[in-house]
Every structure is written in structure tokens, then in C-alpha cells.
Structure 1
Amino acid sequence: MVDDAYENWTGHVIVWGLQSLGLRIVEQLREAGERVVVVDDEDDPRLRHVVRGWGVPQLNGKAVPAETLSEAGAAGALAVICVERTDLRNLEISLVAREMRADLRVVTHIRNAAVGRALAEDAGPGAVLDVAALSAPSVAEACLGGDMQSLVLGGVRFVVASTRAERDGALRDLCGAGTAPLAVSSGGEVRLCPPRDEPVREGDGITVMGVEDELVAQGFAVGGRDPGTRPSWRGSLLDRIRWVADEAGPGLRRALASMVLLVAASTVVLWHGYATPGMSPLDGLYFSIETIATVGFGDFSFAEQPTWLRIYATGLMLLGVTNTAVLLAYLTDLLVSRRLERSSGRRRAARLSGHIVIAGLGTIGVATMAALRSHGHEVVVIERDDDSAFLDQARALDVPVIFGDATVPATLAAAGIARAAAVAVLTSDDLVNIETALALRNELGERWHRVPVVPRIFDRTLARTLADRFGFDSVRSTAELAAPWFVGAALGLDVLGTFTAEGRPLMAGRFTVTPGSALQGTALRRLPERIRVLALARDGARPRLPAGGDDHLGSGDGAYVIGPHAELVRLLRLARTPATP
């Protein structure tokens, strides 16, 4: 029996769906002090016990969505988050919620890009998010050592950069005025978003965010390359010529050489031996090919030529037909048999070095593959299912696919693990990911500590246990990566990206200062301790760097901020809290 009090709640968040992602969202909302009502179609007893232990009410979602939303207090809710297992169910719930209240903030998880784009065209508040797209940048950054961390604000590219302090001093003196300090590391201790007066010792690691050109001028290490950079056409052409030479094989190369030699010799013989009316070198080449191809246009003939030339013509036709048959056989093998072999990716992978291997061609795997390819990195994919729905996307990105079990050493060897720069293990099964990661540790041997291995683990607790027990430094939990986006979007933050500083997660976003809120007129230095303001947009103008701690937030200002997600959530609460008289 549902307590009628839920219907009368105001300012709370309704979370529909309680599997791994939904549970993490509820946990983060509760930690932020938000009131939550959970709706779950599956009504898992284990999960129900967890949320009830948190004091969060739960409703069964099998009834008509409109009735269930009414019971959950949609009339006064701040937002509805839809994270059920299927796109169809999330789409249905979000559309019903929007019909009930046009001003209700609706945040929906949609995996299908076309459906997501169509739903995002709705003018109502909220967001359409995809866990794969949200998680892939973090996985790619882990593979590359963080060289893809950038953010474009008003046409200005901000990047995350790092350096080592060359002397003792205050942070403001070491990192410049136009940067936002993200982390300082010293002796294994990491201080996130420290104040600019933070004392720093020589050798401490400093991570900041700022404008790329300015950071480079100050000596910060800015990794990666521009996403628009592509290999030159000359390099691409040479690669294709090398590929054809490698694919041809010795048999085809011998047949081609024999044909070229036969045509060249015949051209010389006809040029000098064809008596009447005589031939130029071009005529000799033309008639040689005409004879070998057995075309016989009638423009030239051996009928009136010397006996020795007619005997030569007979041999030329026999040799030409035989050579043509052999050449066509090898070409057929190249274009058909070898093409099937090449589709498995093994021949191409055998020639790659410094590439990144992705085990698992699911939604996360495809998104990570696309992110890496957009930055110009070579990728090899290992996939068990030769009927995977994502194979066309791999082909479109020119990524070789190895079909096989990633836990088997032979499959890993075929993907070029011995020459790989990093490996991401992204199947949909936690146990398979763990088995693959352990197999990789054995195969990499001495390179284990130099080659990043990034296993995707759904369960956060299991991810941490795996990292501690087996020494995996780059474990990624998709629920942990994606949940802050949903929480931020539900509370009014336009989430722009997630970043890592010294291995710790940070989130960047934009929010608007509500007139009459507690933030209106607040000096930047009085914001929550670990929040950094990257830029301010006023009166629709282009975002600009803040003047300093004495700069104030005005009504309607768009503030671009970065910090730990818990701090950002507290900031958003202030943004909608009325100012105290």
C-alpha cells in the first residue's frame, strides 16, 4: 500500500529503474541530501532491501506509468530519472512524464542514437544521456594516460595539464593566474581542487585546467593531438601500397612479373620484327596486349608476316592465355579468399605496433573505439560474436576485428598484445572481464606495469576489490562513471564532461544563477571549497575567464565550473535555494 504522503512531496527526485546504475544514482542523491522516491519494474528483493535501509521509499513500476508517477509525487517533483533496462521502457516513461508536466525535468537513458536525438528535440528541461557515450572518454583516457582531456567553451579549448613543481612556493605562483588548480599530489597523498594559496613543495605533482596555448607557454605537459588531425594523403597512399604488396603474396607477385616481362619482350620483338607496314613502340605494346587478350580487332595481323614471327605469335598466345589464367587465379584468391581472411583482422593486426586493443564490441567498446580513432590512434578489436551488430561500425572506422575468446593466449597474440600500447576489456560480463585481465597480466609479463589494462567492471565494490587484490590501477565502473551525469542533469547542471586529476574523478558543467537564489551576488572565493570556476558568460556574451576571487556571480550568469561531483551537487542546491533576507 503506497503512502499518500509521497503524492504530496515537493522538490524530490523520482528514479525509475534500480539496477546497477539506478542504485548508484539513488546513493549519490541521498548523499547530497536530496529526497528520492524509487520506482522499479523488477522489484528485486535484494535491491529493495538496500534502498529501504537508506530510508528511501520504493514503488512497483508494473502499473500504468501515469498512475505510478502520480503516486510517486510527480506533481511536485524536481525531476524524473529513467534508467530502466530497455530504451522502449525509458522512452515510454519519459514521454508520459513530459505529458504530465511540461516543466518537469526529465533525464532519460537512451542507448539508440537516433531515438536519443529525436527525444532530445523536446524543448522541455532535462537531458537524454547514453551510458556508453559517457563512459567511453574515461576508458579512452585511461588507455592513453589522460591525453584526451579537453573541453571547448565558447570556441576556446581548455585542457588538463600536469607538471612537477620546480621549487617550493604557493600554488598561485607556480601555475599562473589563468589556470584552475585541479590537484596537488605529494607522497601518495592527493589534494583535489586545492586553494590557490596552497603551499607546494619541490617535486610535487600539479594538475591544472586552462587554455592550451597558455599552459604550453608555462611549461605544462599537454598530451594528445587535435581530433581533426589526420594522416596526410601521401602517408595514406603509401600505407595502401604496402598493404597491397603484403596481401599479394609471392605467387601473385611472380605472376605479375611474368606478365610484365612477356608484354615488354613482345613489344620489343614486334617493334623490330613486324615487317609491313612496320610498328612504333606504342603499336608493339598495343598489339602485344591485344594478342595476349585474344581480342583480335583486325587492325593488325600476323598473316602476312615472316614465318618465324607467326611461330612466335603462336607461342605468345599460348603463354599469354596461361599467364592470364594464373594471374586471374591469384587475383581471385586475393579478392575473395584473402578478403575473408583479412576480415578477421589477423593479417592487419600482425603489422600494427603501438596500437590499442579493445576486448568486447558492445556499446561501450564501440564508443571507446570511435573516441580513440577520432584522435588518430590505431585500434584492434577482439570479439566473440561474428554476427555482432557493431561490426559495420568497426569496418566504417577501418578497425580490424579478431574473432575469438580474449581469455585465450592465442587470440591475444593474434591481436598483437606483445606490441600493444594499452588494452581495454569491455565485455558485458564482469567475470569474463576479470578472466581476460588476468590472462593479459600473464601474457604481458614484464610489460605489465608499463601497459595500461583497463577492465570494465559494473559493480563498484568488485571494481575496488579487483584493483586492490590484483593490482589493476585503471579499473572502470560504468555505473560510477555515468551516475554523476544523471544526478547533475536532474539537479539542473548542464554536464559538459568528466575528467581525472591524479586518478581522481572530477566533473565539469554549466549552470545558470537563478534570480533571488543564495548564489546571486556571491564572490567566487565564497563558493564551496573544492569548486573551480573556469569561465563566466554574461548577457549572452562569449564565456570569459573570471577576474579573480573578487568576481561576483550575477543574476542570469552562466557559470562553467569543475570539481568533485558531490561538491557540484551542493553548489546546485545553493543555486536553487532562496537567498536569506
Structure 2
Amino acid sequence: MARRGPGRQAASLSAGRRNRLTGPRMPADRDLLMIIVGGDALALSTARELSLLQGRRIVVLWPADLEFASAVEAVGAQFIAGRPDSRAGLEMAGVSEAVTILALSHNDQLNLQAALRARDANPHIRIVLRQFNRTLAAKIEQNLSDCSVLSLAWHSAATYAAAALDPSCFRGLQFPQPNGPLSGFAIRTAADRLSGQRVAEAEHVLGARIVAIDGATEIGKDDVVPTRAELVVYGRLDRLLASTPRQPMPADRPSIEQRLRRRLRRSDGPTHRLDPYLIGFVITVLMLFAAGTWYFHSSFGTDWLTAAYFVMSTMTTTGFGDIFPDHSRALDLWATMVLMLVGTVFTGLFIVFAAARLTRAQWVRMQGLRPIHRRGHIVVCGSGSIGTGAIDLLLAFDKPLVVVEANPDAALVERARDRGFDLLTGDA
């Protein structure tokens, strides 16, 4: 008798567990089959939304994961355990009968491979593809028929830019073309000028479409807008900005104690950035200068200003010769020599510190680390795929921008120079 190999041992899994992970082969029926590829929250939420539609059968294809399989079954979809980029896995999901495949995993390469294999198995299947890179997404759409490629980076950039412009905007998009004007969904409160008006009149005043009133979406043009109702509106951002709610100003002025604390914090800030060696250097020089002035004030029997003048000219090796120590007193000569020697050393150290400060200031300026003197600007942290898209959208509204990027490339530096926004090199 032949020995059972590893493949046969793996095939001896319990039938119950195998059925839970892979599910039975689905018979053909009238429901439209849609396959979702992915194992994260995006795939799960998409399965939940599509399962609510009548006449749809939703299958989620992903490698075996008991916890994720339970979550998929809880939303009304079916979980199939298998490799999405393999022909066997797609056949288990019923790719030949499916009308649509949604490749939504976090791996762009896996999404593309699953979509192409699904098209090979079913030439009539529609493809919805998730791709992070917007440029690659556009290329795929141009060369693959009946395919919609969505770039999450670009959609996220539109939402971020819209929220930066309008604080009540919770979703932004470019519509109707992929590169069209920026639009968004925002929250408005029916103020006095809108209360009691018909929906059509309120839309004309706002310059936007009212899609919900106090959570109700079934509204007509002749419906009356209630007083202080919460409106969800949709429109172009340039029109929404005219009715953007202003940020509330603080009602109470800060107390004297609070203002003093702020000033102390501001005054304490630069101290922490001072070089401790420089602080020690300055303290030592001042102490030596004070000690020398006190000694020669007593030795010369003169006023304090003259003694300080002699110590200063000695430490800086100027030596005009109008005042000199008493050569008959050895202590005066020793004190003068110490002042000259220490003064020479400290003068060299002062030059070194000054040169280092100037060099660092020049390096900081070349790196873009400089204080920004602006008001009312928008700070964009990062210039990746999302940040670059947000920058382009915000610049279309002539908003002053400050971009913080740890490793800016030459293209970003050139764009900052051409478009006139500030670029800071550093970790936000």
C-alpha cells in the first residue's frame, strides 16, 4: 500500500471546518454574483453594503481566516478561502458566473493579478480595481476594457483638501470628471435666512444641493426648511466657501495670569535651544573679567571704570600702554599674564562659536528649516501620493501653504519655487 503523503494528510481536515472556510460550490441561480477580493475593513464594509441590495450574491475571496470569515458571514456574504491570484481560488468563488469582481486588497500587485486572471476566466466580467498610485490607475483604465480603477490616495486627497477649506465638509471629490472641480458634502445649519423657505429657494441661496434635512433624504423641492434644521449639502467648494461657518472666537479674554504664563513659556523657549558650552563659556569670561576688575581696582587704587578698562584691553591683547601693572609687584604681573593667556584662548573660542553659528544658520537656510511668518495658512505634513494631491487642490484656491517633508525630492522643490508655497525640510 502506498504511504499517505503530506498532501493526503492535509486533505483530511474535518468537513465542518472546510465547509466553513471554503463553502460549497454555489449553484447557478438568478442572483447576480459579485466577488470581493480583500481581507481588511474595506472589503468587509463593501460586502456589507452590497449584501443589502436585492438580487445580489456576494462572495469574499481571501486566504483562510476564521475570524474574518465569521465577520463576512455576519454581514450576509459568503466567505471562500483561497488565493485570489490563482485560477483555482477564482473558480471556487464562481468566477465564470460572476458579473463583477472587486479587487480591494491593500496589495496593488495582488489586485491587478486577480483582476487579470478573472478576465481570462470570464471575458465578460466587470472589474473594479483598487490602486494606490493614481497615475498607474489611469493607465490601467485606459488599457483594460469595462474596468474602473479607484485610487484611494486621490480620493483621500480630495477629502483632506475639502476639509481643510471647509471645516464642516466630511467628504470631498472631483466631479464630474476625475480631474474636475473640487466638490464636497458639508453640514449647514438653517439660519434665519433659510428658515421657512422652500428647498429650491434654500438651494439657490446656498449655491448647493440639499441632500438631507435632519437626517431625512426623501425631500422635495417644495418642502419647507425647518428652523435650525441640520442640512447636508453638496456642491462645488468654491460655492460652499461662501456659506462656510466661521470658527467661534473665545468668548472670554485670557486672564492676566494666563497671559503671563504664555509670555514666560515663550521667553523660556529659546533658552532650551542654547548651547550649554556657549553658556559655560560666557559665564567663565564674565567671572574672570569681574575678578580681574576687582583685583586691579584694589591694586591700582583707582576707580572701577579704569580697572575694567585695563582688564578688557589686557584680555583682548589690545594693550594701548596708557595703563600698565606695577613691575615691582610680582602678583600684578602674574595676574596680568593670566588675563592675557586666558583672554587669547577665549578670543579664539569666541571666533569658533561664531563661525559655527553662522555655518549652521546657512545650512538651516539651505535645508529649508526656517521660521515661517504667515497668518491664515494651511500646513500640509507630508508630500506623498495623498499630500501631493492635496497640495495641488489647495493651490487651485490660492491658499497660502506650508509643506513639511522629511525628504523632499527635486520635483517638490521645483514646484515649491514655481507655485510659491513654503517648503520645510524636517520631521513634522
The TM-score, its normalising length taken from structure 1, stands at: 0.41
Q: Deviations over 1:476-495 (max 9, x none)?
A: xxxxxxxxxxxxxxxxxxxx
Are positions 1:170 and 2:175 aligned together? no
Inter-partner Cα distance in structure 2 for 1:4 and 1:102: 24
Inter-partner Cα distance in structure 2 for 1:211 and 1:133: 17
In the alignment, which residue of structure 2 is the partner of 1:200?
225
Structure of higher CA gyration radius: 2
Distance 1:174 1:110, change over 3 A: closer
Q: Deviations over 1:460-483 (max 9, x none)?
A: xxxxxxxxxxxxxxxxxxxxxxxx
Cα pair 1:165 1:205 within 8 Å, conserved: no
Distance 1:212 1:144, change over 3 A: closer
1:16-95 equivalences under 5 Å are 16-33=37-54, 34-41=56-63, 43-62=64-83, 65-95=86-116
Letter in 1 for 2:368: G
Are positions 1:8 and 2:28 aligned together? yes
Cα pair 2:155 2:173 within 8 Å, conserved: no
1:141-160 equivalences under 5 Å are 141-145=162-166, 151-152=175-176
In the alignment, which residue of structure 2 is the partner of 1:135?
156
Q: Deviations over 1:485-542 (max 9, x none)?
A: xxxxxxxxxxxxxxxxxxxxxxxxxxxxxxxxxxxxxxxxxxxxxxxxxxxxxxxxxx
Letter in 2 for 1:395: V
Letter in 2 for 1:96: R
Distance 1:62 1:123, change over 3 A: closer
Inter-partner Cα distance in structure 1 for 2:379 and 2:208: 35
Q: Deviations over 1:347-402 (max 9, x none)?
A: 2x52232221233444333332332233322333445xx45xx6455324315134
SS at match of 1:221: helix
In the alignment, which residue of structure 1 is the partner of 2:396?
374
Inter-partner Cα distance in structure 1 for 2:377 and 2:236: 29
In the alignment, which residue of structure 2 is the partner of 1:403?
426
Are positions 1:117 and 2:117 aligned together? no
Inter-partner Cα distance in structure 2 for 1:116 and 1:174: 39
Post-superposition offset of 1:198: 2.1
Letter in 1 for 2:26: Y
SS at match of 1:8: coil
1:322-337 equivalences under 5 Å are none
Cα pair 1:344 1:400 within 8 Å, conserved: no
Post-superposition offset of 1:108: 0.8
Higher RCO (Cα < 8 Å, 6 or more apart): 1
Letter in 2 for 1:341: V
Letter in 1 for 2:395: R
In the alignment, which residue of structure 1 is the partner of 2:385?
363
Inter-partner Cα distance in structure 2 for 1:114 and 1:212: 24
1:181 to 210, 216, 219: 210
Moved more, 353-362 or 134-143: 353-362
In the alignment, which residue of structure 2 is the partner of 1:284?
none
Post-superposition offset of 1:212: 10
Are positions 1:346 and 2:401 aligned together? no
SS at match of 2:157: helix
Q: Which runs of 5+ in 1 are unaligned?
A: 224-332, 407-581
Distance 1:24 1:381, change over 3 A: farther
SS at match of 1:78: strand
The root-mean-square deviation of aligned C-alpha atoms, in Å, is 3.9
Q: Deviations over 1:72-123 (max 9, x none)?
A: 1111112101122222111111111222223211011112334323211135
1:413-562 equivalences under 5 Å are none
Q: Which runs of 5+ in 2 are unaligned?
A: 1-17, 245-356, 417-421
Distance 1:343 1:119, change over 3 A: farther
Inter-partner Cα distance in structure 1 for 2:233 and 2:208: 6
Q: Deviations over 1:223-274 (max 9, x none)?
A: 7xxxxxxxxxxxxxxxxxxxxxxxxxxxxxxxxxxxxxxxxxxxxxxxxxxx
Letter in 1 for 2:158: P
Letter in 1 for 2:426: F
Cα pair 1:51 1:57 within 8 Å, conserved: yes
In the alignment, which residue of structure 1 is the partner of 2:299?
none
Distance 1:98 1:191, change over 3 A: same
SS at match of 2:390: helix
Inter-partner Cα distance in structure 2 for 1:32 and 1:99: 28
Post-superposition offset of 1:17: 0.9
Letter in 2 for 1:99: D
Inter-partner Cα distance in structure 2 for 1:174 and 1:113: 37
Instruction: Provide the aligned length of Structure 1 versus Structure 2.
Output: 280
Cα pair 2:85 2:113 within 8 Å, conserved: no
Post-superposition offset of 1:210: 6.8
Distance 1:377 1:394, change over 3 A: farther
SS at match of 1:74: coil
Inter-partner Cα distance in structure 1 for 2:201 and 2:74: 48
Inter-partner Cα distance in structure 2 for 1:369 and 1:118: 22
Cα pair 1:164 1:205 within 8 Å, conserved: no
> What fraction of aligned residue pairs are identical, expressed as a percent?
21
In the alignment, which residue of structure 2 is the partner of 1:107?
128
Cα pair 2:61 2:79 within 8 Å, conserved: yes
Letter in 1 for 2:369: R
Cα pair 1:181 1:193 within 8 Å, conserved: no
Letter in 2 for 1:75: S
SS at match of 1:49: helix
In the alignment, which residue of structure 1 is the partner of 2:257?
none
Inter-partner Cα distance in structure 1 for 2:360 and 2:181: 47
Q: Deviations over 1:183-235 (max 9, x none)?
A: 33xxxx4444622232224555656557999x89xxx9367xxxxxxxxxxxx
Post-superposition offset of 1:165: 4.8
